[in-house]
Structure 1
């Protein structure tokens, strides 16, 4: 760990994992956040790209923004998606970098990994891979990625300093981070920060 965290990181991961197991298995269930195609449309994803994608590639999407709105990826780039879930952003990235590029998704939820791996096979995306791991300890070698993307995941990590250290480690010199996330512009009471249930509420 890089330092003291406001909540137990292991307990927080367990809470997050349990929530996103539900999203993988029952993507049309009742959640406190939006999912799927309606969410992708709301967040400004290109309908000409999302529309032809199979439902299974989109239905478990639960992001908070559109990291591709910051800058399109380039052909041949190597990309890491941290907290890749059902693979939606990985599949978008795969189209942008083309077969000369490479996209690796990292997730800690078994059900999401099973879903994304099967979808990648069904879509015949040979330049896509999904790895089981934590974004605080990425299963990626040093200086590998041109781009790291993330969508609504970093806020769910207790030790953000450690996460950004890992991002820096896996990025090539001159590489870039494109992420969307939730931020709070006002102070949060200490009692709320330490309430683990509120992190995934």
Structure 2
């Protein structure tokens, strides 16, 4: 029988794993640029992205379906070190504010440092939880999420928060992983199954 983790234990496993990525203590086993190309990211745009934000953590390309008007605000949930935020800003240099939100201070600090160093304008990085987003009701035009919601045990609350902060007729673009069937007990009993 597999161990049953509480929601907080799952969140702590996720925090530990991604803090180790941000600090450089661990890394993914893939070459980031190859992963991004396989997911459909524009190779020419990837060359404009600071290398320090390429962590190889994506599982899709939510930007592929994104169109921003100059008046649109965008929020990237679980932005990590800011890859999709920076890609969106390069693609839509005149759009309204682009926000990146992550639960980890270490990720927000790294993304903010890159933004400041490279002179990206009208980008804000904020620390926040998927289940308690630090945004006003009906305040965001478009939201993207790249391989993040699967990491939060209370997915219903995440979707309620997305609905709360999206403006009427807003858009949510998700790229994530799902299971086709239940994982077996051998896999579920692995240490840090939820953080990796």
Query: What TM-score, normalized to structure 1?
Result: 0.86
Q: Does 1:182 align with 2:177?
A: yes
CA pair 100-43 structure 1, distance change in 2 beyond 3 A: closer
The corresponding residue for 1:75 is: 70
1:45 and 2:77 correspond: no
- How many Å separate the matches in 2 of 1:35 and 1:170? 35
Match of 1:15 in 2: 13
Q: What is the rounded CA distance, in whole Å, between the counterparts of 2:153 and 2:73 in structure 1?
A: 27
Partners in 1 of 2:31 and 2:77 — Cα distance?
18
- Look up the match of 1:117: 112
* Aligned match of 2:161: 166
Instruction: Give the TM-score normalised by structure 2.
Output: 0.88
Distance 1:194 1:104, change over 3 A: farther
Structure 1: tracts of 5 or more residues without a match: 1-5
Measure the CA separation in 2 of the matches of 1:95 and 1:147.
17
Aligned residues: 193
Contact 2:21 2:27 in 1 (8 A): no
Q: 1:98 to 1:69 in 2, by over 3 A?
A: same
Structure 1 counterpart SS, 2:125: strand
1:128-143 matches, within 5 Å, as 128-143=123-138
* 1:91 is aligned to 2:89: no
Where structure 2 has 5 or more consecutive residues not aligned to the other structure, the ranges are: none
CA distance in 2, matches of 1:142, 1:85: 23
Please list the CA deviations of residues 65-124 of structure 1 after superposition, one character each: whole Å capped at 9, or x if unmatched: 000122333333101111010000111122233234111111111211110000111221
| Cα distance in 2, alignment partners of residues 144 and 54 from structure 1 | 29
